[in-house]
Amino acid sequence: MTLFDYSSLAPGAKRVIVVGCGRLGSVLAGELAEAGHRVRVIDQNRAALDTLPPGPVSDGVITPVLGDGTSEADLLRASIRDVDLFIAATGSDSTNALAAQMAQYLF
Rounded to the nearest integer, the mean pLDDT of the chain is 92
63-79 per-position pLDDT tens digit: 999 999 999 999 999 99
- Any idea what DSSP says for residue 78? T
pLDDT reading at 11 higher than 90: no
- Burial of 20-38, coded b for 16+ CB within 10 Å and e otherwise, reads bbeeebbebbbebbeeebb
pTM: 0.92
pLDDT at residue number 1: 52
Tell me how far apart the alpha carbons of residues 53 and 58 are, in angstroms, rounded to a whole number.
9
19-74 per-position pLDDT tens digit: 999 999 999 999 999 999 999 999 999 999 999 999 999 999 999 999 999 999 99
User: Which run of H or of E encompasses 47?
Assistant: helix 46-49
pLDDT reading at 104 higher than 60: yes
In the Cβ-directed half-sphere of 89, how many Cα atoms lie within 13 Å?
19
Reported confidence tier of residue 9, pLDDT bands at 50, 70, 90: confident
pLDDT at residue number 34: 95
Q: Which of 70, 86, 90 is nearest to 25 (CA)?
A: 90
Tell me how far apart the alpha carbons of residues 88 and 5 are, in angstroms, rounded to a whole number.
22
